[in-house]
Amino acid sequence: MSGYNQNRSPFCGRRKEFLSTRATPSSFTNPRGSTPVREITEGLLETVVTSLHVPSDSTSKAIDADIKHVKCIGSYSWLQENCSIIVPGSPPEWSNKPTPYTLPPDTAERFIDQNGHRMPSAPLLPLLAAVDSFQATEVGNLFDWSAVDIVTDRNGLRKLVRWIKDGPNARDFRIDLQLAGKDTVLFSRWEQVTKELPRFANTFGINFEKATTKDARGCEGANGHHRIVQYDFGGLKMVVRFEVDACVSSGVAKPKSTTSMSKSRAAATVSIDDIASALSKASITAVTDEESQVVSDGKTALKIYNAGTLISQQSIVELATISRRRFLEGGYDWKEVALQMLISQTPHLYLGIHDRGNFQEVKQQSFNSSAELQRAEAMVKPALKKLRKVLEDIKQLVVKHGEDGRLSLVCRNGELKVYQRKGSESCLPSDFLDEFL
């Protein structure tokens, strides 16, 4: 792969609908929220380019699916203001609220995909802008995007694994694909709705997060913290974005152990944790208009402020809730949460257990000490091996179609097919694409 220009400013010169092929409208009213529901084939040609198939056990058995050399390369928090982020931002801090306490059910709309909601034309733009800003400001050089094989959200990897595991029962989904540079593949998240009301009555996840966390200093009013990590996945160089629910701050008692999730990951987080430690000792700057930068995809301007502090990888926490009845009946999906934590290298799970909103206990689980998570990790490893093979197949297909190719993965009724998009719109503005050359 070609090198990159270290003298180029990461923000120099930054600027910058597909119709349904079916008889149904391209969008329709969403009964569960304020955003319209899009048709999954919106803007796609009818002809199937190819179909992808789940690798066999024999084919994938010998595949290396280890995740190693984990490094955080940037992070950001969305502000309530329509299209503004703070870099590196900070996730909410776990407050260790004493039990018992009672919470009302969730009733407000929640984001399904905040990046796609705020930047519908370029959901990946905040990812690259945040990494460029953080690397230039805090690390002192630009990130080498040309060395990356795949840029994706964690959500896209989870969807592919569900297709691998669930077969015909897999949920429908779509992921838009594009080649950047010579051989980097962009996975752009696509959702039918980006914001909706709770799907079920008596869910408490959002209110649990609000009740048990507090805004980090300098990040008051932030709404949704996203972290971007780089790692080696069986030889594939991955950049993965995911949302962080909470972190354990230095002033709050931590779980019994905060060592790495496995020996292969132990050395991977040292360098970034050293950076995080140094940054955490510095004063946190509040956001000001004078210090903002602006990038654009040609349709939406994204304002970037510098505030917050990078959090150690070993401090991030996944929050979840479940009713006591379901938990005792074995209704918690340990495999799904283990997968989610593995592909983002999130080490801790805090599981709030309640009886109709009355929270009596919060189980604090860590990968290095939780028997449930360790068993679940072993059970999802075969699916991760198959995911590694599928990602390689997707990359080869996208590279074959070249820089002008506009492909989309569409899973319906458990069948994963590849379609070509009608338009030539890019997932990223051209000046950001140049970073992959």
Determine the pLDDT at residue 288.
Answer: 55
Q: Which two tokens stand for residue 8?
A: 């180029």
Tens-place pLDDT, residues 388-422: 999 999 999 999 999 999 999 999 999 999 999 99
Q: Which two tokens stand for residue 312?
A: 């150690």
| Cα-based distances in Å from 294 to 156, 349, 434 | 27, 35, 18
Q: How far is CA 263 from the centre of its chain?
A: 24
Is the pLDDT at 281 greater than 50? The verdict is no
Q: Which two tokens stand for residue 104?
A: 């009302």
Angle, alpha carbons 39-301-151 (nearest 5°): 60
Determine the pLDDT at residue 161.
Answer: 98
| Cα-based distances in Å from 49 to 74, 101, 410 | 35, 54, 11
Tens-place pLDDT, residues 163-196: 999 999 999 999 999 999 999 999 999 999 999 9
First-to-last C-alpha distance (Å) of the chain:
8
Q: Which two tokens stand for residue 264?
A: 């292969």
Is the pLDDT at 62 greater than 50? The verdict is yes
Share above pLDDT 70 across residues of the chain, in percent, rounded to a whole number: 83
Of residues 24 and 64, the one with the higher pLDDT is 64
Specify the length of the chain in residues.
437
Determine the pLDDT at residue 32.
Answer: 61
Q: How far apart are CA 116 and CA 176, in angstroms?
A: 12
Tens-place pLDDT, residues 204-257: 999 999 999 999 988 998 999 999 999 999 999 999 999 999 999 863 433 333
Three-state secondary structure call for residue 275: helix
Is the pLDDT at 305 greater than 60? The verdict is yes
Is residue 151 within 8 Å of 124, Cβ to Cβ?
yes
Report field, pTM of the whole predicted structure over 0.75: yes
> What count of Cα atoms within 13 Å lies in the side-chain half-sphere of residue 434?
13
Which amino acid is it at 54? V
Q: Which two tokens stand for residue 172?
A: 């429908």
Place of tokens 């503004």: 84
Is the pLDDT at 81 greater than 80? The verdict is no
Q: How far apart are CA 327 and CA 311, in angstroms?
A: 31
Tens-place pLDDT, residues 126-146: 999 999 999 998 888 899 999
pLDDT band of 9, cuts 50, 70, 90 = very low
Q: How far apart are CA 411 and CA 395, in angstroms?
A: 17
Q: How far apart are CA 317 and CA 324, in angstroms?
A: 21
